[in-house]
Structure 1
Amino acid sequence: MNLNQIHNVYFIGIGGIGMSALARYFKNIGKNVSGYDKTPSALTTELIEGGISIHFEDNIDAIPKNFYSENTLVIITPAVPKMHSEWNYFLERDYHVKKRAEVLGIITKDTFCFAVAGTHGKTTTSGILGHILQDSGADVTAFIGGIVENYNSNLIGGGKTITVVEADEFDRSFLHLHPNIACITSMDADHLDIYGTSEAIEESFIEFASTVENKNNLFITKELPIEGVICAVNEEAVYKAFNVRVGDGSYVFDVQTPTEIIKDLHFGLPGRHNLMNALMAIAMANLFGTPTDAIAKAIASFKGIKRRFSYQVKTAAKVYIDDYAHHPTEINAVFQAVRELYPNQKVLAVFQPHLFSRTRDFADDFAKSLSSFDEVVLLDIYPARELPMEGINSQWLMNKITNTNKKLVLKDNLIPVILASDATVIVTIGAGDIGELVPSIKKAIDETL
């Protein structure tokens, strides 16, 4: 398929974080862009303000008339239900209908592609890498699965020859990509609703690794059963971060590369997992030939990703952090970072489970992770693309949490519960619509200070 012959791009599910980045990209290169989404959001508002027409009702008549042509590309998200009338309308008339991952595959085929894979860390690692390349003057476009604070966007740059993409394991999407340089940050079990077993996920990552022909161009962590260049923090590796210390609220560390030691890198994101994310990005940029001083400057200026350990309130009396964590390993990483930064303070975790299937598959691990916090508040499970499952609910998960200071709360009652807590550090966690509550929570806390 030749994208040069496409004039119109129509998105079904345009408000998703990955879909909206593609929408911005096609708008930037001069295509007519329009789309549907189920509900308005901050992202759809920004797209509309950028000149993209969006409607929120599954209605064929709402599709702009000029999109009824053979030079229209229709992009769908896996979250769209099979009975969606707009999707079926285009399918029945043999339009070019592609999944988001397929379109990324088409875009990356003709560029020098950096692909960032892993169950955790994709968004932060690709955000750091995109920032390094953009900041160093590379001709790059980076598609990010989150809003990068430096750019207030999920799209970095407007280059035509280099791309940075998240290699998403969901629905085996990453097998559509054509990476020149890649990394795999982690391979924990997830998306068992798609894969069935952790072995099947591992096989999929191994298949992704095989798309990188030169294994010197594939960066991995020590424990992965894959051939590649090992990166590690405080352990022997080809790329090693070491001499890690904390100064003025930032990590300061050195990096050993195959040819040199880069000393005194400053990096402001908390948590040891983020050190690994930074190291992966540094390794890929270093292999690509980005100058060392440009890497150091970009690492120091990277502000992070919205909803990734994102400070909302930061005073001596109260700290409020919001994070997208939706897997037990990610919750553990949030807890490690909070404990490192606030060792003697009481921490309240507010968690909204994401997907019935994920809650079912990792219930014991979720319970163990959440039990580490001083106080736990659970919201109802956010269903996303799923229908309810009998017996799988937040009360069931709550019963597994060993911490006795816990409660189940409806979203409408959440703010009074947060304000009534004597915790000095509050963390909201989850990948559902809990993110939309963050401004109201922040406002309520600010008013008490």
Structure 2
Amino acid sequence: MDFENIYFVGIGGIGMSNLARYFLSQGRRVGGYDRTRTDLTEVLRREGAFVHYEDNIETIPFEFLDKSDTLIVYTPAVPSSHSELTWFRQQGFIIMKRAQVLGEITKNSRSVCVAGTHGKTTVSSMIAHTLHQSHVDCNGFLGGILKNYDNNLILSKRSDITVAEADEYDRSFHWLHPWIAVVTSVDPDHLDIYGTPEAYRDSFEHFTSLIRPEGFLIMKKGLNIIPRCHNSVRIFTYSESEGDYHAKNVRIRDGAIKFDFVAPDLVIPDICLGVPVKINIENAVAALAAATLAGVTPEEARSAMTSFAGTKRRFDIRLKTDKVVLIDDYAHHPDELSASIESIKTLYPDKKITGVFQPHLYSRTRDFAPEFARSLSKLDEVILLDIYPAREEPIEGVTSKIIFDRIDNERKIMCSKAQLLDVLRNRPIEVLVTLGAGDIDRMLPDIEKVLKEK
């Protein structure tokens, strides 16, 4: 990685931007393209990156046109027909996937890699925060903006530990070299890439084979995979209530959650969650397992869990008054929706829960429409938006309606994003949750304003 210039095709992505920040911190020249101007791209510009928004080779800054000293990094979310990426290939530039670059960075460190259909952002963020607040410390490449640092990158000058979110999309996590691997879930997803649930699970089994000798695997108890680890790798299980690592004496009252963390060789009493959501009990158990294996002390672990403020777009409480609550959550898989909705109902058992869901990807909507409908039926009221296409072209016959028609709830409505604010103005709201991995979060300032006016 001796290139002076690093150019990112898709620089505004959450995973791409932390790599861009990493290279900026090293004094490299960083630039890139993204389709849309966002808060992240504006932060990168302020930090010194050259960012532009037109897919046009003539807009590439001349500093990045020297193929002998420029590395091109791209995300699989960018279509292969992208003109800049095509031009770089034709000119013979060195081109690497984001995951390859992250693999190179983590190759020479003790890497803690968190994989799973869901939970990986929260668990990896909890691990990174816990290590960073302890004497162990770490570097962290994370899939969300940590509120504690307002950043998706943690840097350390003294630690050789790197925490990374291990993304299964396009088999990206197969480039990593874990010392400690955590697998939170293997519920089938990304079937546009994998084809079958069996192939999806097989990719996680291959991921476990990448754990270095003398390393550790921490996997959710009951997962439908068979680890392929080196025989010197120690394998542990975890869950909320059972496994080698688990919680006991759980106390949920007055908006707070406390529990005792149980490990094979110790118990840490009175863990208090900084983000008191029921699903975070299990997330914290996984994070504490990795952190204590990495050398964090019980006192450091307890303190870090209390101070952990969470990540943006992961059960993010945006507004909380006596009359109305607004929560934003990145949930975009049926099981994630269920977990989020059930957590909200636990927190607010006597309130009406209204959910705004923006489906993400035509293929995911097609593959999981019945499951999405079952999850959304748990809400008291459902507002369903159009599909956010992301990287995909439309699929004939696939719209939000294939979910809507299956929702078992009389209080349901379909609308466009343009209609959403008027819909919210004209109905009573007690607890509102916005759900999805698309661009629904860009409407949050306006949604907050509407709710405050009400």
2:240 pairs with one of 230, 233, 237: 233
Does the 8 Å CA contact 1:249/1:268 hold for their aligned counterparts? no
- Local SS of the residue matching 2:239: strand
Q: Which digits, 9 at most, give the CA deviation of each residue in 1:80-132, with x for residues without a partner? A: 11121111111112211000001011001011111000000010001011101
Q: Deviating runs (4+, > 3 A) in structure 1?
A: 213-216
Q: Which digits, 9 at most, give the CA deviation of each residue in 1:147-175, with x for residues without a partner? A: 11101111122446221101111000000
The structural deviation recorded for 1:64 is: 1.6
The structural deviation recorded for 1:270 is: 3.7
Determine the structure 1 residue equivalent to 2:232.
none
2:85 pairs with one of 87, 103, 107: 87
Question: What letter is aligned with 2:236?
Answer: V
Does the 8 Å CA contact 1:35/1:54 hold for their aligned counterparts? yes
Q: Within 5 Å, give how 1:156-305 maps onto structure 2.
A: 156-159=154-157, 161-214=160-213, 217-224=216-223, 225-227=225-227, 228-235=235-242, 237-305=243-311
1:333 pairs with one of 329, 339, 348: 339
Structure 1 position 42 matched with structure 2 position 49 = no
Q: Write the distance in 1 (CA, Å) between the matches of 2:208 and 2:83.
A: 37
Q: Which digits, 9 at most, give the CA deviation of each residue in 1:393-415, with x for residues without a partner? A: 01222111111111111111101
- Local SS of the residue matching 2:351: coil
- Local SS of the residue matching 1:362: helix
Q: Write the distance in 2 (CA, Å) between the matches of 1:338 and 1:419.
A: 22
1:426 pairs with one of 418, 422, 432: 432
2:50 pairs with one of 47, 50, 53: 53
Q: Which runs of 5+ in 1 are unaligned?
A: none
- Local SS of the residue matching 1:282: helix
- Local SS of the residue matching 2:149: coil
- Local SS of the residue matching 2:178: coil
- Local SS of the residue matching 1:155: strand
1:31 pairs with one of 1, 21, 28: 28
Determine the structure 2 residue equivalent to 1:72.
70
Q: Write the distance in 1 (CA, Å) between the matches of 2:114 and 2:98.
A: 16
Determine the structure 1 residue equivalent to 2:102.
104
Q: Write the distance in 1 (CA, Å) between the matches of 2:104 and 2:213.
A: 21
Q: Write the distance in 2 (CA, Å) between the matches of 1:200 and 1:272.
A: 31
- Local SS of the residue matching 2:345: helix
Does the 8 Å CA contact 2:257/2:277 hold for their aligned counterparts? no
1:375 pairs with one of 352, 377, 381: 381
Q: Write the distance in 2 (CA, Å) between the matches of 1:435 and 1:361.
A: 24
Structure 1 position 10 matched with structure 2 position 7 = yes
Determine the structure 1 residue equivalent to 2:230.
none
Q: Write the distance in 2 (CA, Å) between the matches of 1:53 and 1:444.
A: 36
Q: Write the distance in 1 (CA, Å) between the matches of 2:10 and 2:380.
A: 38
Does the 8 Å CA contact 1:374/1:405 hold for their aligned counterparts? yes
- Local SS of the residue matching 1:390: coil
The structural deviation recorded for 1:215 is: 7.6
Q: Write the distance in 1 (CA, Å) between the matches of 2:258 and 2:98.
A: 38
Determine the structure 1 residue equivalent to 2:116.
118
The structural deviation recorded for 1:247 is: 4.0
Q: Write the distance in 1 (CA, Å) between the matches of 2:215 and 2:51.
A: 44
The structural deviation recorded for 1:12 is: 0.4
Q: Write the distance in 1 (CA, Å) between the matches of 2:308 and 2:137.
A: 19
Q: How many residues align?
A: 444
Q: Which digits, 9 at most, give the CA deviation of each residue in 1:172-191, with x for residues without a partner? A: 00000001111100000100
Question: What letter is aligned with 2:187?
Answer: D
Question: What letter is aligned with 1:295?
Answer: A
The structural deviation recorded for 1:369 is: 0.5
Structure 1 position 436 matched with structure 2 position 442 = yes
- Local SS of the residue matching 2:269: strand
Q: Which digits, 9 at most, give the CA deviation of each residue in 1:209-255, with x for residues without a partner? A: 111145861001111233420112222x2112111112442210101
1:247–1:404 CA distance, 2 compared to 1 (3 A): closer
Q: Write the distance in 1 (CA, Å) between the matches of 2:20 and 2:449.
A: 31
1:150 pairs with one of 141, 148, 151: 148
Q: Which runs of 5+ in 2 are unaligned?
A: 228-234
Determine the structure 2 residue equivalent to 1:398.
404
1:203–1:262 CA distance, 2 compared to 1 (3 A): same
Does the 8 Å CA contact 1:216/1:229 hold for their aligned counterparts? no
Q: Write the distance in 1 (CA, Å) between the matches of 2:415 and 2:41.
A: 28
- Local SS of the residue matching 2:319: strand
1:215–1:342 CA distance, 2 compared to 1 (3 A): farther
Q: Write the distance in 1 (CA, Å) between the matches of 2:403 and 2:93.
A: 44
